[in-house]
């Protein structure tokens, strides 16, 4: 087994099967697995989100620097980096939560591809038992149920109305959560974005630019993928998005108090 499988694939599929053995429901097993994974990643994601919030507070100072060094790109770049160093901020730190989330989603897609998209039930159990920790192996006669609420977890979360397929509740909730998570970080960033347009320098605040793009890119990607991916993946993506939104709201609330 490769290092990637040992570090990511095996723990995630084992966690999923552990909850399935306890609950007997794959949908709830997915949700609880995601919540637990996010709790484990808190020591990594929280500092990154806090760094992004610090970037917000620096927006007025960055705007002043851009005005002061509007005609000297090198001095502007140095002044920006000095400001970041003074406040002990890594401009790219805010990207880490999204990167971790994407990595987890890719691993989950591989897990769901093995569990949900294999038509032969015996082959599914064989794949699971070859991947999970030995004490979690399932009896060979086990048949996994893909039903969860109104969903068939092997199919996209789409609802047919008048012969047309439209996004279902989980998919729409995931898109909304993605948008709101990015929107929480936008108000102060917008001021700096306006100043950046006036100075027209290529050294614009990296975090500000990525946050502005993520406001639309991640929700759009979620919606686009949701039309083709199994809803089991959408349930996990929705859970991730809601936990991220809750964590960001809590940290923002804590800063105000």
Tokens of 233: 């993946």
- Could you tell me which of 50, 59, 49, 57 has the C-alpha nearest to residue 193? 59
- Return the pLDDT at 133: 92
- Could you tell me which of 134, 58, 51 has the C-alpha nearest to residue 97? 51
The pLDDT tens digits for 128-155 are 898 899 999 999 888 888 889 989 888 8
- Return the pLDDT at 203: 43
- Return the pLDDT at 201: 46
- Could you tell me which of 61, 93, 52 has the C-alpha nearest to residue 80? 61
**Beta carbons within 8 Å of 172's beta carbon, 6+ residues apart:** none
- Is the pLDDT score of 124 beyond 60? yes
**Beta carbons within 8 Å of 25's beta carbon, 6+ residues apart:** 145, 148
Sign of CA dihedral 113, 116, 118, 122: positive
- Is the pLDDT score of 19 beyond 90? yes
- Return the pLDDT at 202: 46
Kind and range of the H or E run holding 158: strand 158-161
**Beta carbons within 8 Å of 163's beta carbon, 6+ residues apart:** none
> Considering the chain, what percentage of its residues have pLDDT values greater than 90?
9
More confident residue, 101 or 248: 248
**Measured CA distances, 170 to 107, 140, 157, 209 (Å):** 20, 32, 7, 29
Give this prediction's pTM: 0.73
The pLDDT tens digits for 228-246 are 888 888 888 888 888 878 8
Domain boundaries, the chain: 3-256
Q: What are the residues facing 164 on neighbouring strands?
A: 161
- Is the pLDDT score of 199 beyond 70? no
**Beta carbons within 8 Å of 11's beta carbon, 6+ residues apart:** none
Average pLDDT, the chain: 77
**Measured CA distances, 63 to 80, 101, 229 (Å):** 10, 31, 42
Q: How confident is the model at residue 196 (pLDDT cuts 50, 70, 90)?
A: very low
Tokens of 119: 């038509």
- Return the pLDDT at 200: 45
List the single range of 12-16, 67-71, 210-214 with lowest mean pLDDT. 210-214
Helix-strand-coil percent breakdown of the chain, rounded to 5? 75, 5, 20
- Is the pLDDT score of 2 beyond 60? yes
């Amino acid at each position: 087994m490769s290092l990637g499988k040992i570090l990511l694939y095996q723990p995630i599929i084992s966690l999923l099967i552990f909850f399935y053995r306890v609950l007997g429901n794959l949908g709830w097993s997915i949700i609880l697995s995601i919540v637990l994974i996010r709790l484990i990643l808190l020591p990594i994601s929280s500092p990154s989100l806090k760094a992004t919030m610090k970037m917000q507070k620096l927006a007025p100072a960055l705007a002043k620097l851009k005005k002061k060094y509007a005609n000297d790109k090198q001095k502007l770049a140095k002044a920006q980096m000095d400001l970041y160093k003074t406040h002990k901020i890594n401009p790219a730190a805010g990207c880490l939560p999204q990167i971790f989330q994407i990595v987890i989603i890719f691993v989950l897609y591989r897990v769901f591809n093995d569990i949900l998209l294999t038509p032969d039930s015996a082959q599914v159990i064989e794949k699971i038992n070859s991947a999970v920790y030995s004490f979690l192996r399932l009896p060979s006669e086990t048949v996994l149920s893909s039903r969860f609420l109104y969903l068939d977890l092997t199919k996209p979360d789409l609802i047919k109305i008048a012969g047309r397929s439209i996004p279902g509740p989980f998919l729409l909730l995931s898109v909304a959560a993605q948008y709101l998570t990015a929107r929480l970080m936008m108000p102060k960033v917008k001021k700096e974005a306006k100043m950046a347009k006036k100075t027209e320098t290529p050294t614009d605040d990296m975090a500000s630019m990525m946050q502005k793009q993520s406001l639309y890119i991640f929700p759009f990607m979620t919606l686009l993928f949701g039309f083709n991916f199994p809803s089991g993946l959408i349930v996990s993506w929705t859970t991730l998005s809601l936990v991220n939104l809750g964590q960001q709201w809590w940290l923002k609330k804590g800063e105000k108090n």
